[in-house]
Every structure is written in structure tokens, then in C-alpha cells.
């Protein structure tokens, strides 16, 4: 359980300009010197996305690092063991029966085993994970390119977002979920990671599959992904804000 102080710190950090600039990006420094932009940023997440376009084009790559930069230990945050009997049964069987369901607004819904996911075109990347709670870690991730998976299932023209449904009920209640737009979904560094630091992804970091969406803050990187749903909007999904923390006040746009 998070203490009240931790939760309010999360909320504080998740709001507005703080989340965008907490990581001391030089672009943000330059922007904060202009008078109008901080006001614009306070106006909401859509405008934060606009500001992000000003400092970096959407196709820009997140910084990548070398083996020497790896953190000695990649910590776990949030759920470290989903309290879900179905998940525990899958884990006990080494995830042999795991299937990733892909559906919603797609022409060819699919259900993939881990072997099938591993057979998709992959990418390996050493990147820095930044959590709004005030810590960072550098890890080496390997996973299936989400673009390859989406090309296989063929998004329908109305599809605008990919929603990641996870297996962990937070605080014994609502399952974690997250979403990204299709521009981020097709970005080359967006992968469904199954390895961390050259080993099978450990349970505390989201086994068997977790999202890496490198130009976004930590909470967007959904762990324990069971189902991907393509949607036009978030109207019918849980709190309607596109993510577990977003439903509780975080910004949907967490670009860094
Ligand atoms: N399913 C699920 N995904 C999640 C979370 C979670 O609690 N459940 N926490 C998020 C947060 S806030 C962070 S910082 C990262 C932590 O990833 P790590 O455990 O590999 O450090 O996972 C994100 N994805
Ligand atoms: Mo986080």
C-alpha cells in the first residue's frame, strides 16, 4: 500500500509542467523562459503534447545507453506480484499457457503464445526509465516490436489508441491498464519486452510481457500485459481517462 503522502506526492508530480520538466530536459529550460508557454502547459494534457512537439518531433528517438551505464539492479515499482489466481497459475507453469490477446478495432484479432511473440521482429535497447516518484534506472530490454504485431492484426481506420490491459488488480481492486496513441505504438522503440538485462523478464518487472514506450514516463510502461485492445476513444474503458493512474488524476500524456 502507498501511504497518503506518497500518493499526494505522485499526484503533485503527475500534474502539468512538473511531469514534463521534472527530468531537467534542456528543452524545458528554454521553454520555461518564455512567458506564454508555462501558462499554455497548465491548460491541459493535449497542450503538453503540443509543447512536446515543439521540443522534439514525434519520430525522435529516446536516448539509448551502453552496457557500462546499466543500473546494477533494476528495481520494481507498483505491483511486484499480481494478486490474481489466474496469473499465479500461469506463473507457476512458467507462462507456458500464457496468451496475449489482441483485439478491438482490428481486422484480424489474434492470440499469441510467448513463442509466437518471440518469433516476431524484435528490438534490443538500453534506455532510462523515469518514474514520477523520483527514481530512474537504466536497463537493457528486448522485445517484439509493437509495430510488427499491429501490422499483423491490421488496425481498422477508426483505431486511434492501443490499450494495454494488465493482470494485476491494484490494491485488490481495479486492474492496471494503460494506453498510447498509434503514433507511439508504431514508434521503433516501442516494444513488448520479454527480456531484461539478457534474462527472461522477472515477475517483479512485469513477466511475461511488459510495454516499453521509451519517450514516456514510467507509469505508461504497462507490466503483466494480457490483452491489447485498439479503440477510437476511452469512453467505454473503466474511468474513461485511458489509464489506471490517469483515472486518478495523472496526465494521459507523459512524454519526456
Ligand atoms: N501492471 C502494472 N504496470 C505498471 C505498474 C503497476 O503497478 N502495474 N506500475 C507502473 C509504474 S508507476 C512504474 S514506475 C513501472 C515500474 O516498472 P518496474 O517494476 O519494472 O520498475 O511500471 C509501471 N507499470
Ligand atoms: Mo512510476
56-70, 81-95, 173-187, 204-218: range with lowest mean pLDDT:
56-70
User: Domain of 227?
Assistant: 4-248
Task: State the Cα–Cα distance between residues 100 and 27, nearest whole angstrom.
Answer: 38
- The pair phi, psi for residue 188, each rounded to 5°, is -60, -25
Specify if 147 maps to a domain: yes
Comparing 14 with 239, which gets the higher pLDDT?
239
Specify if 159 maps to a domain: yes
Cell of 4: 497518503
Specify if 254 maps to a domain: no
CATH number of the CATH domain containing 215: 3.90.420.10
Q: Does the CB atom of residue 51 touch ligand 1 within 6 A?
A: no
Ligand 1 closest atom vs CA 245: 12
Q: Which of 172, 219, 226 to mutate to test the pocket of ligand 1 (most atoms within 8 A of CB)?
A: 219
What is the tens place of the pLDDT at every residue in 141-156? 999 999 999 999 999 9
Specify if 256 maps to a domain: no
Confidence at residue 59, expressed as pLDDT on a 0 to 100 scale: 74
Q: Are 19 and 254 in contact (CB under 8 A)?
A: yes
Confidence at residue 22, expressed as pLDDT on a 0 to 100 scale: 42
Q: How far is the CA of 10 from the centre of ligand 2 (A)?
A: 9
Q: Considering its fold, how many domains does the chain have in total? A: 1
Specify if 253 maps to a domain: no
Q: Has residue 39 got a pLDDT over 60?
A: no
Percent of the chain with pLDDT over 70: 77
For ligand 1, atom 2, which residue shows the shortest CA distance?
A: 223
Cα distances from 154 to residues 133, 147, 158, 213, 236, in angstroms, run 36, 10, 11, 20, 22
Beta bridge partners of 142: 124, 195
Specify if 86 maps to a domain: yes
Ligand 1 closest atom vs CA 75: 21
Confidence at residue 49, expressed as pLDDT on a 0 to 100 scale: 66
What is the tens place of the pLDDT at every residue in 57-105? 667 999 999 999 999 999 999 999 999 999 999 999 999 999 999 999 9
Ligand 1 closest atom vs CA 78: 7
Confidence at residue 20, expressed as pLDDT on a 0 to 100 scale: 43
Q: How far is the CA of 14 from the centre of ligand 2 (A)?
A: 10
Amino acid at each position: 500500500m502507498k501511504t497518503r503522502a506518497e500518493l499526494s506526492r505522485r499526484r503533485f508530480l503527475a500534474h502539468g509542467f512538473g511531469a514534463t520538466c521534472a527530468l531537467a530536459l534542456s528543452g524545458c529550460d528554454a521553454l520555461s523562459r518564455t512567458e506564454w508557454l508555462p501558462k499554455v502547459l497548465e491548460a491541459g494534457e493535449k497542450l503538453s503534447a503540443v509543447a512536446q512537439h515543439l521540443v522534439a518531433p514525434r519520430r525522435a528517438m529516446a536516448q539509448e545507453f551502453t552496457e557500462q551505464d546499466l543500473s546494477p539492479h533494476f528495481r520494481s515499482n507498483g505491483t511486484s506480484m499480481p494478486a490474481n489466481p489466474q496469473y499465479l497459475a500461469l506463473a507457476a507453469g512458467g507462462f507456458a499457457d500464457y496468451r496475449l490477446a489482441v483485439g478491438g478495432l482490428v481486422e484480424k484479432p489474434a492470440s499469441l503464445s510467448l513463442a509466437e511473440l518471440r518469433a516476431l521482429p524484435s528490438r534490443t535497447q538500453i534506455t532510462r526509465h523515469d518514474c514520477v516518484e523520483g527514481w530512474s534506472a537504466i536497463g537493457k530490454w528486448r522485445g517484439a516490436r509493437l509495430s510488427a504485431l499491429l501490422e499483423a492484426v491490421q488496425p481498422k481506420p477508426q483505431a486511434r489508441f492501443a490499450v494495454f490491459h494488465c493482470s494485476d488488480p491494484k490494491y485488490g481492486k481495479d486492474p492496471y491498464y494503460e494506453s498510447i496513441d498509434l503514433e507511439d505504438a508504431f514508434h521503433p522503440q516501442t516494444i513488448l519486452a520479454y527480456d531484461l538485462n539478457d534474462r527472461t523478464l522477472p515477475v517483479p518487472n512485469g513477466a511475461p510481457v511488459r510495454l516499453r514506450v521509451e519517450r514516456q514516463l514510467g507509469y505508461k510502461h504497462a507490466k503483466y500485459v494480457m490483452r491489447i485492445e485498439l479503440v477510437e476513444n476511452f469512453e467505454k474503458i473503466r474511468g474513461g481517462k485511458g489509464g489506471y493512474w490517469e483515472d486518478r488524476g495523472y496526465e494521459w500524456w507523459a512524454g519526456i
